[in-house]
A = this chain, B = another copy of it.
């Protein structure tokens, strides 16, 4: 018997997560931590939701001394619906929000997956669970968001994503400082500023608003990244507003402008991170080479202490360090394994929040040492946390090799 070809099954032709979020009245995304996927046995407790995100689920914040809940329906791309519950625990010493019930389909292997919830109407959401690195990065890049925005809720007002405010009610000062600093780029025909110009500006702004000088390296980096995204978005809006209001005479004109914007968001995402890491290493007095060449013209993100040291067979391999950089880290981490034959242990920095035990085991077997911003360590399976390195720890590690190098000279 012939199958009717009109009904090839198994093809999801619905909208992509980024489109759905932009059409919604607000959305939320979050990397699933090891605790939340049951890796630590506390599976029943559901997802922790940051207090700033309550408004997406409830009209009023929860009251101290009370427990409250709201039923919410979550529609998934396969056509299924989950009846879930948004809960406020305010009794006793507790004060936290959680999204519970209906997530029994999640397992430990979903650690590090990205949960996306877009509000279609009050208490009704479209949900997505993104497992592949490519899907996660597309989602973040298309919306111009970064992994460290995980756990926040975003309003959509007049079709524009509303970033949660800066601290210290510094909005006015932010506006006027940027107007000054980026004046030349606001002219209609001026190009977008180079990546390193924006990255530097972000660090300067952070110093003003957050006194980042006194923070540890891990916290400092996260502030820099967040600030750069804010500046980037601020500039995008101002540079393109006049094109938008005048409309387009053809579809390809619109597609062309959109591709310019989308492709820049994409290419800047990883590059900004590398620039900030380079600035961090420089400020810590650590010598390095970025985009150096190794065997077969491979280009590791960072080599320590230098390209010359790596190329010099007399320089002891034990004093070389490799650092790969990936904004997210799910299925493509193996790419770094062949990028520097002289350095068997590969360090890998990522903003990925949570990785499954199975992947962590594979990485350990491949001699990959993860470098993770300290505030994200708690999102990893408990038994693996002590094997994670912080940025501070990594810089100390490289410094200790540097001092060996001094002795060696």
Residues of chain A touching chain B, judged by Cβ–Cβ distance below 8 Å, are 1-3, 5-11, 13, 15-16, 18-19, 22-23, 142, 156, 158-161, 194-196, 200, 236-237, 240-241, 244-263, 267, 271, 274-275, 278-279, 281-282, 287-291, 299
A160 to B255 Cα, complex, angstroms: 10
Contacting pair B244 A249 (CB below 8 A): yes
Contacting pair A256 B290 (CB below 8 A): no
- Partner pick for A19 among B245, B246, B256, CB 8 A cutoff: B256
A11 to B15 Cα, complex, angstroms: 32
Contacting pair B5 A259 (CB below 8 A): no
Given A195-B13, A267-B13, the answer on whether A251 and B244 have CB atoms closer than 8 Å is yes
Contacting pair B23 A278 (CB below 8 A): no
A69 to B38 Cα, complex, angstroms: 70
- Partner pick for A275 among B8, B244, B246, B267, CB 8 A cutoff: B8
Known: A1-B287, A16-B259, A244-B250. 12 other contacts (CB 8 A): A5-B282, A8-B274, A8-B291, A16-B263, A18-B259, A142-B255, A159-B253, A240-B251, A244-B251, A245-B249, A254-B257, A255-B258
Question: Min CB distance, A289 to chain B, in Å?
Answer: 6
Copies in the complex: 2
Contacting pair A8 B278 (CB below 8 A): yes
Given A10-B291, A11-B291, A158-B250, the answer on whether A262 and B255 have CB atoms closer than 8 Å is yes
Contacting pair B8 A256 (CB below 8 A): no
14 A-B residue pairs with CB within 8 Å: A2-B282, A5-B196, A8-B196, A13-B267, A15-B263, A19-B260, A19-B263, A22-B253, A159-B248, A159-B249, A159-B250, A244-B251, A245-B247, A258-B259
Residues of B within 8 A of A23 (CB): 256
Contacting pair A247 B249 (CB below 8 A): no
Question: Min CB distance, A262 to chain B, in Å?
Answer: 7
Residues of B within 8 A of A261 (CB): 251, 255
Residues of B within 8 A of A262 (CB): 255, 258-259
Question: Min CB distance, A254 to chain B, in Å?
Answer: 6
Given A196-B5, A259-B22, A275-B5, the answer on whether A252 and B290 have CB atoms closer than 8 Å is no
A241 to B248 Cα, complex, angstroms: 9
Residues of B within 8 A of A289 (CB): 3
Residues of B within 8 A of A7 (CB): 196
Contacting pair A22 B256 (CB below 8 A): yes
